[in-house]
Amino acid sequence: MNPALAEQVSAWIAHDPDDDDRAELQALLDAGDEAQLVRRFAAPLTFGTAGLRGPVMAGPAGMNRLTVRRATQGVVAWLTEIGADATRGVVVGRDARRGSEAFNDEVVGVLLGAGVEVFEMPGPLPTPLVAYCVKALGAAAGIMVTASHNPPLDNGYKLYASDGAQIIPPNDEIVERHARSAPTPTLADRASPLHHRVPDELLARYRAHFAERFGATDGKGLRIAYTPLHGVGGAFMMRLFAQAGFGSVTAVAEQFAPDGTFPTLPFPNPEEPGALDLAMACADGIGSDLVIANDPDADRLGAAVRGPTGWHLLRGDEIGWLLASSLLRTMADPHDVVATTIVSSTLLEEMAREAGVSFARTLTGFKWISRAAGEGVLRFGYEEALGYAVDPAVADKDGMSAGLALARLAHDLAREGRTLLDRLDEIESRFGVHAISQLSIRASGPGGSHAIKETVAALRERPPTALGGVDVSEVVDLARGHAGLAPTDGVLLVLGTSGRVVVRPSGTEAKLKAYIEVTTSPTDVSSLESQRAQAAGLVSLIRADLEGLLAF
């Protein structure tokens, strides 16, 4: 056994508050299981702008009570260092994943012990409600224990600033610096006068606001199948649907109750193949033409629409276009802004230009989208990974309000004898086909992150001259910054007027992602399908080339 590693493990055990985790690590130490200990200690989780996210396991490389305890001490020190008014309190929430309740308890205990006022959510509830409550209460920060749509063994920790948006650099570095050197904390329990439960009245205000904005007095005519994918959105979203007038919503029974094991899903992500199969089967049973899905913490929105040849799973960009087609019509103030990211479709910019609305393109992640308006007001923002912000009341992606907005659009179109697919035809005939696809390569094992970095570095140094038979007209190293954006790890490959490809590591999972977009000129509806077929063919050729180019 490496003596330095053994000493590191013993030091961790001495501070770990969890009996089971201590015993597990001691057993590995006693058995001399260096491989397992290296897995748990060699690459500790670090606090980034996405907070923490990783497997639930003992040791600094995992999500556990000590990791969460130290992260929260880092948050307390961060509030002090940036001069935030900690007396305004911190909103604390959690989902229903493995370990979430215990981690939530650690967050509350550390904050109270540090003299910070706590506004704790009344139970496992969706992430967007924490973002909403931070703004509504004027809190100093918000903490959400969640791993969103990650695999079942993962959990995480998300931090919101006082504006209700996710933190940006250098705040993550400040939290990490203080977390690394955190001493044994003073803890306090919920008997403290500093502890409060977020009142039901505040959550009711959220529902009332969005029910009024996107509700329909005759919404019962629209039949919807809804699934929360075993997450915490179910009961809250069904209540929101009903309050907004959508009384013909049927929940997918097998996926309704919160369950951190996600028994019907290999990956609880609406983007994954098969994730909406049960919901579509439910829709078939009730004669519904619309499926709406939330991911496990309800900050993302997935959807499917029945078409002439069967179900059409809406891509993230397609949902973005649909929502924009409705929301842009309501914008008249010169301070209104819409935004999307460098890996999302370029179509929103064209739609905004025609509508006379200011547009902003950001780096990947809602922490940037939420702040894209500057001195203006973000009226709509989206990222292709099923994240949508449809109202300034929530400064983060919100799958619940976005789901309601999509339902209202489907309802309004149905009254005209049209569907969401008809609206997509209208959009693409007006602005041209924008064929989109994503290649996602998952890396496994402790060397996965290194393999991803090496692959991106190789692409940067030796980019292809053509993809899918189309010349690469420009190679942009995003690590050097681009179009006024801060540097980020990734490469942009421009394919002349035919489209573009962006390759970058995922910010939340061990994946390498390539985002493909092929564009055509505007056309009439009668030529739309042939243009789509041609564009899809080119996308397939580009994708095939990328699979060979990016293979680990």
Residue whose tokens read 């989206």: 382
CB 310 within 8 A of CB 279: no
Cis peptide before 128 (omega within 30 of 0): no
Residue 481 burial (CB count, 10 A): 13
Q: Could you tell me which residues come within 8 angstroms of residue 77 by beta carbon, excluding any fewer than 6 positions away? A: 174, 175, 178, 182
Angle at 136 between CA 133 and CA 139, to 5 degrees: 70
In sign, the C-alpha dihedral spanning 307, 311, 317, 322 is positive
Q: Which residues of 406-439 are buried (b: 16+ CB within 10 A; e: fewer)?
A: bbbbbbebbeeeebbbebbbebbbebbbbbbbbb
Q: Show which residues are catalytic.
A: 148
Could you give the C-alpha distances from 384 to 82, 108, 164, 318, in angstroms and in order? 33, 34, 21, 8
Q: Could you tell me which residues come within 8 angstroms of residue 413 by beta carbon, excluding any fewer than 6 positions away? A: 419, 420, 422, 423
Q: Where are the alpha helices (DSSP H) in 82-199?
A: 100-113, 127-137, 171-180
| Separation of alpha carbons 434 and 419, rounded Å | 19
